[in-house]
Amino acid sequence: MENMENETGAIRLQAQRSQYREHSVPLYLTSSFMFEDAEQARAVFAEEEQGQVYSRYGNPNVDELLQKMCFLEKAEDGFAFASGMGAIFGTLGALLQSGDHVLACRSVFGSTHQLLTNVFPKWGITHTYADASKPEEWESLITPATKLILIETPSNPGLELIDLEWLGELKRKYNLLLVVDNCFATPVLQTPTDFGADLVLHSATKYIDGQGRVLGGVTVGPKELIAKIRFFARHTGPAMSPFNAWVLSKSLETLQLRVEKHCENALKLAEALEGNPALEKVNYPFLPSFPQYDLARKQMRQGGGIVTLEVKGGYDAAKRFIDNLQMASITSNLGDTRTIVTHPASTTHSKLKEEERAATGITPGLVRVSVGLESINDIIADVKQALERVS
Ligand code: PLP
């Protein structure tokens, strides 16, 4: 069908059916694929003929997931990785070489920070962090060696936003590659390729799965860049398993519905908590009090599923709040049907230096709430009773 909308594509794009004409796509749990004869094997390896070869290279379940992700992110081609970090490493590793410089937003995810700070320098790849709240400084941080800009918007967990329209212009002016980690927004809330992003990547572990079952990562973009990433990833091995691709492709069928409901619940929770005496601050992109509210309204369709709370009284008070919760889970994932709380300073971002955390708004009292799909009345009641018993 031509001109499908996103909800339709996420459901109807399907790997080729087998002779059984199954309605729901089967799981192609196989390491390799057979050839008709020796000549066909030669022709497929020589890329004279198309065909599946080996599941580290590709697999019908992985191909189906990528077809849907390319459709949703308006991209030509993609590669699926075993995890989000696999996607970030595979993408940057494929496109950068010794001597190259990366300009990254300073509020990147903790493991991305480790990759830039403690892994890439040993291959001569350097980086500089730019402050999302000071766009006027970014241009001066670009050097002749700068090859790529890497950002998250909204960031994890600081919820810092970056103006994608402005960044698209900057990257065009200096002929740089723009790579956007769209994990928090998902294609439901924002489409970075509309603003000139070259590559969009995801930790599919989060909202794409949406039920906390499997890890996965996806990078999509133009054919010629994905060809380089595919070459790098095929020969270094971080490919997604067929099983995870099958789960994730099924999950995409409900992505739109889930993300809309996550956003609705998150906004209601944020509104219910603003002014709560146990809190210093409630951060949510679609709250008018959010410092980048206008930008959020400009480039996001809804505010996302993450609310962060700054509990009065620092780490001890944040710990008491978390321990008082009766329903929300204490775990480091996000984007799940279940409401999850995480204390970034002592868990996901504990390896950062104190001043690095402070620079991205990760205070000792900050608690990240990934708002789930339970009844919003129950979520609000759980968080409120836990706050009441903090002091
Ligand atoms: N990017 C962002 C924004 C994340 O939040 C995460 C994980 O939390 C990752 C990347 C890494 O993804 P994964 O855990 O699937 O490797």
Structure-block tokens of residue 165: 């329209």
Which residues make up the CATH 3.90.1150.10 domain(s) of the chain?
A: 255-388
Q: Ligand 1 centre from 203 Cα, in Å? A: 5
The pLDDT confidence band at residue 17, using thresholds 50, 70 and 90, is: confident
Of 6-15, 17-26, 43-52, 373-382, the range with the highest mean pLDDT is: 373-382
User: Is any atom of ligand 1 closer than 6 Å to the C-beta of 336?
Assistant: no
The pLDDT confidence band at residue 369, using thresholds 50, 70 and 90, is: very high
Q: Ligand 1 centre from 20 Cα, in Å? A: 38
Task: Render 240-260 in DSSP notation, one character per residue.
Answer: PPHHHHHHHHHHHTTHHHHHH
Which residues make up the CATH 3.40.640.10 domain(s) of the chain?
A: 6-252
Mean pLDDT of the region 191-215: 98
Q: Ligand 1 centre from 37 Cα, in Å? A: 43
Domain 6-252 has CATH 3.40.640.10: yes
Superfamily of structural domain 255-388: Aspartate Aminotransferase, domain 1 (3.90.1150.10)
**Residue 203 burial (CB < 10 Å; 0-12/13-18/19+)?**
buried
Q: CB–CB of 353/242 below 8 Å? A: no
pLDDT for res 141: 98
- How far is it, in rounded angstroms, from Cα 94 to Cα 82? 16
Mean pLDDT of the region 59-65: 97
pLDDT tens-digit readout, 208-223 = 999 999 999 999 999 9
pLDDT tens-digit readout, 263-311 = 999 999 999 999 999 999 999 999 999 999 999 999 999 999 999 999 9
Check: pTM over 0.85? Answer yes or no: yes
Mean pLDDT of the region 237-252: 98
pLDDT tens-digit readout, 125-165 = 999 999 998 999 999 999 999 999 999 999 999 899 999 99
User: Is any atom of ligand 1 closer than 6 Å to the C-beta of 308?
Assistant: no
Q: Which of 183, 244, 306, 342 to mutate to test the pocket of ligand 1 (most atoms within 8 A of CB)?
A: 183
Write out the H or E segment, with its range, that includes residue 385.
Answer: helix 376-388
- pLDDT above 90: residue 245: yes
pLDDT tens-digit readout, 320-362 = 999 999 999 999 999 999 999 999 999 988 888 888 888 888 9
pLDDT for res 357: 87
Mean pLDDT of the chain: 96
